[in-house]
A = this chain, B = another copy of it.
């Protein structure tokens, strides 16, 4: 399940992306109408989250152009109170709207609702970092297009946490808290768990591709760059 987010406000776009990614969406972003259209053509997403306020090509025009060629579900982000916008958006063919400000949960709920209505809703695709994917619900990891790698429950939790915070360094304590809950788990267990996860996921355990260690601090997952 892949979503295209078209919003010139990058902060907001990132928050939306984050919320949807959590739910297993693969995210494509564009920050203006023109590139949004290009990405839509190229990527053919299952869902579009669209801000009405866009530079150059505005949201309505964008929406109309999509509708001329496809029925891809569209959720519009509008400023609260601009009822005209809402009406106009729905007339043009948007599937739903969300007034700003909104909670990520609300957004996610609407997204699923719209997809359900549209009769789509396959299995959500997993978290992602680089070419490492995680299907949290089936507890499987996969590298690129390789075979899925089954994970144990704890390994799944660990990887989930790392992927949610890909690119960041997490303290050992925080990870332990997340995986084992408070009051349980110690560094030995974490070390062991990391070891086992790495054995499965790193092609060459010697030179870690995905995971990095910061001595005295904790672990992190390497994001796209760095």
Interface of A toward B, CB cutoff 8 Å = 10-11, 14-15, 18-19, 21-22, 28-32, 34-35, 38-39, 100-106, 137-139, 148, 150, 152-153, 164, 168-169, 173-174, 177-178, 181-183, 214-217, 220, 226
The answer to whether A214 touches B138, judged by C-beta atoms less than 8 angstroms apart, is yes
Residues of B within 8 A of A182 (CB): 30-32, 34-35, 38
Verify B29–A174 contact, CB threshold 8 A.
yes
Provide the bound-state CA to CA distance between A215 and B226, in Å.
Answer: 35
Cβ-neighbour of A148 out of B19, B152, B217, B226 (below 8 A):
B226
Do the beta carbons of B15 and A19 come within 8 Å of each other?
yes
Which B residues touch A164, using CB under 8 A? 14
Question: Besides A11-B105, A15-B15, A100-B103, 9 other CB < 8 A contacts?
Answer: A14-B22, A28-B174, A34-B183, A35-B183, A104-B104, A137-B168, A138-B168, A139-B169, A153-B217
